[in-house]
Amino acid sequence: MTRSSDRLPPLDWLRVFEAAGRLGGFSAAAREFGLTQAAVSQRIGNLEAWLGRALFVRGPRGVTLTVEGESYLPLVQESLSALARSTEDLFGTAPTELRVAGLASHIEALVMPRAAAFLAAHPGVRLMSDSAARRAGLDEERTWLQIRFGRGVWPGREALLIAPEILTPMAAPGLGWSAGIIDLRGERPGWRDWARLAGAMPEGQARLSVDSMGHALTAAEQGGGVVLGSLPLARAAMVEGRLCRLQAPEMATRDGYWLTWPTDRLTARRQRALVEGFHAALIREDL
């Protein structure tokens, strides 16, 4: 009689395959598990031999998933996640890892200043971050817990507000309106919107125009001018004295920064409690 376990490859091989597929390489998977690259390559080779299919194409510049690998990866990820959730529900296994994705500027401004406090409150938990190059990339990101900017409504996702977006003029210490303004292109309200609130448009033309709030804040810190900056993203810079608010009105917007996840992910009680604890750390006002 054939045992059900004979029809499945070893769990260790599947976990290494999932990491290599998610992270895009054997070296990254090796770092995640504390293994050598050779050990990761051997496990994946064993899995490929067991399946009778190549899961990766090996090249001089790294590895890429084959068609079979791309098809198999989400099935393995969902199976591993389901096993983890069921184990936690049945036996109360505490989560040992929390992974969050977001734009690099959002991770830097919203997560990193709170990371130490979160880890201190959750001993034994490892916090991992994944940076997305652009907002559209979050839809393709395999990390299910994400920080997103918007109005809190994404189909198929739950969301908790971290901070509403509030814009206000700010600049490096000692600088004022005479330094000129920095123009930020994009969906956020800009200087003309702020002028309607303040009753006057800042004098002079913007000599610097950027398409990222992170770039705009960095430019302002370096003396590039006055930015209509995000209070949530600039909080650490203001606390540390790298940016100062000008005596000018602030402008609330309809957007905000949210912690989001797929609606079907937080079914395990302890996993949800960990995410809620992470959210509580992100919204603390002591910074």
The 3-class secondary structure across 155-209, one letter per residue, is CCEEEEEEEEEEEEEEECCCCCHHHCEEEECCCCCCHHHHHHHHCCCCCCCCCEE
pLDDT at 287: 54
Token pair of 18, please?
A: 């999932």
Is the pTM higher than 0.85? no
3-state helix, strand, coil in the chain (%, to 5): 45, 25, 30
d(CA 98, CA 102): 14
Q: What is the pLDDT of residue 62?
A: 85
Give the pLDDT confidence score for residue 140 in this predicted structure. 74
CA 93 to chain centre: 25
How confident is the model at residue 93, as a pLDDT?
61
Residues of the chain with pLDDT under 50: 1-3
Structure tokens at 22: 């998610």
- Quote the pLDDT of residue 2: 43
User: What is the predicted pLDDT for the residue at 131?
Assistant: 87
- 104: nearest Cα among 222, 261, 212: 212
Whole-number pLDDT of residue 241: 96
**Look-up: residue for tokens 């750390």?**
281
Q: What is the pLDDT of residue 92?
A: 62
- Which domains does the chain show, CATH number per domain? 4-91 (1.10.10.10), 97-287 (3.40.190.290)
Q: What pLDDT is attached to residue 1?
A: 40
pLDDT score of 77: 92
